[in-house]
Amino acid sequence: MAQTSSGNNDDPETFCVCKGPEEGKMIACDGASCEVKWFHFDCVGLKRAPKRKHWFCKSCSKQKGQN
């Protein structure tokens, strides 16, 4: 029987395009089908949270035509 991920394993969950752990300032992509979802500020070139209500990663922005 295959074992599913239930959060009880020793493998740390990874985030962002860097595949790093959840640490520091992070932002969630508002793209409904975003494959990554959470990004480190440094990895996406942010110094502070954007003032706009919704934020889309580079990949989702391209899909929506929102460069």
Name the DSSP letter for residue 51. S
Residue 39 among known ligand-binding residues:
no
Residue 63 among known ligand-binding residues:
no
Helical spans, DSSP H, in 1-67:
58-64
Residue 14 among known ligand-binding residues:
no
Residue 54 among known ligand-binding residues:
no
Residue 57 among known ligand-binding residues:
yes
Closest C-alpha to 38, from 17, 64, 63: 17
Q: Is residue 41 within 8 Å of 27, Cβ to Cβ?
A: yes
Residue 10 among known ligand-binding residues:
no
Residue 9 among known ligand-binding residues:
no
Residue 59 among known ligand-binding residues:
no
Annotated binding site for Zn(2+): 16, 18, 29, 34, 40, 43, 57, 60
Annotated binding site: 16, 18, 29, 34, 40, 43, 57, 60
